[in-house]
Amino acid sequence: MHGFQTLQQYFNNVIEKETFTGEPSTLYAPIDYTLRLGGKRLRPVLCLASCELFGGTLSDALNAAIGIELFHNFTLLHDDIMDQAPMRRGNPSVHTKWNTNVAILSGDTMFAKAYEYIGKAEKEKLPEIHSVFTETAIEVCRGQQYDMNFEERTHVNEQEYIKMIRLKTAVLLGASLKIGGIIGAASEEDLRRIYEFGKNLGIAFQLKDDLLDAYADQEMFGKQTGNDIVTNKKTYLLIKAFELANERQKESLNYYFDRTKNWDEQEKLNAVLEIFNQLNIREETQKSVKKYQKAAIQSLDAINISEGRKGTLLAIVDYLDKREA
């Protein structure tokens, strides 16, 4: 069993050496660029750790892990076009550095290349892996569409929001673990449990993201906090605030989130955070993070494998909980 950082390092070394080049170079350069922007490598690490948990080796799960990271980066690439995001991990996003057409097509190619790596699985295991991966890919698209739909709406409730982040973010964490488990020859029952672990971990992960955007230590966070509030993003914090607000507070939130008005950013941020503080939104969100973390750990506990082997995955829960960025 390898620890989280060892797995990250192992995967980064592989990506470093793997060539994502080909002709025409205009198509491949953005793929190579995107994969070398780094990131936490959370999904491939989960895939590798799950395979090891059930007794497989790292090399068994490596191609699937690369396929999953390719898929994840493809979604970021296309999301950045849709969100008109100029930056990704502190560097220009692909559609900014090249152009939208290159970003669409190199994204499509990354998606196909993800399947190329998935296709390297053992023949007997490919049908199940193919099915989990494909079902998840469709769910991630559905999640992104819900997220875009929410932008057009005035109000979204908690249940709708959790469904959206489950699809957009959490199922891919679940699938990464499940695919690692399939490669590691886990039982049907354990595959269900490791998937549930990942799904709940993923929801906690996204809620923590929402929290950090408003409350992170500016220096540790590495980018401007409060961006979600300034851009009227429907986060868990805002949804919870609307749920708990009294009439006066609701009116005030509606006032500051009125798209037709051009707010002074700092004034809006201060006013909204003041309401969040009055309503204990930070604590409410933390409570929710804990709830999903607990559900994740319960699923992990139920897996019939010695506790000692679960250390890496438990450490990942802890790492995601304590992170400041």
Residues that bind a copy of itself (CB under 8 A): 22-24, 26-27, 78, 81-82, 101-102, 104-105, 107-109, 111-113, 115-116, 119, 123, 126-127, 130-131, 134-135, 137-138, 141-142, 144-146, 148-149
Q: Give the nearer residue to a copy of itself in terms of CB position, either 108 or 284.
A: 108
Instruction: Report whether 144 contacts 168 (CB < 8 A).
Output: yes
CA angle centred on 81, ends 106 and 222, rounded to 5° = 105
How long, in residues, is the chain? Answer: 325
Distance of CA 149 to CAs 143, 152, 156, 161, 164, Å? 10, 5, 10, 11, 10
Q: Give the nearer residue to a copy of itself in terms of CB position, either 161 or 276.
A: 161
Q: Give the nearer residue to a copy of itself in terms of CB position, either 8 or 34.
A: 34
- Per-residue b/e over 149-171, b at no fewer than 16 CB within 10 Å? ebeeeeebeeeebbbbbbbbbbb
Give the type of residue at 200.
N
Q: Give the nearer residue to a copy of itself in terms of CB position, either 38 or 119.
A: 119
- CA-based end-to-end distance of the chain: 27
Max CA separation in the chain (angstroms): 62
Q: State in angstroms the smallest separation of the CB of 30 from a copy of itself.
A: 10
Q: State in angstroms the smallest separation of the CB of 138 from a copy of itself.
A: 5
What residues have CB less than 8 Å from 97, skipping those under 6 apart? 30, 33, 91
Q: Give the nearer residue to a copy of itself in terms of CB position, either 3 or 119.
A: 119
Q: Give the nearer residue to a copy of itself in terms of CB position, either 86 or 127.
A: 127
Distance of CA 65 to CAs 43, 52, 140, 247, Å? 7, 13, 17, 49
Distance CA 225, CA 238 (A): 15
Q: Give the nearer residue to a copy of itself in terms of CB position, either 144 or 200.
A: 144
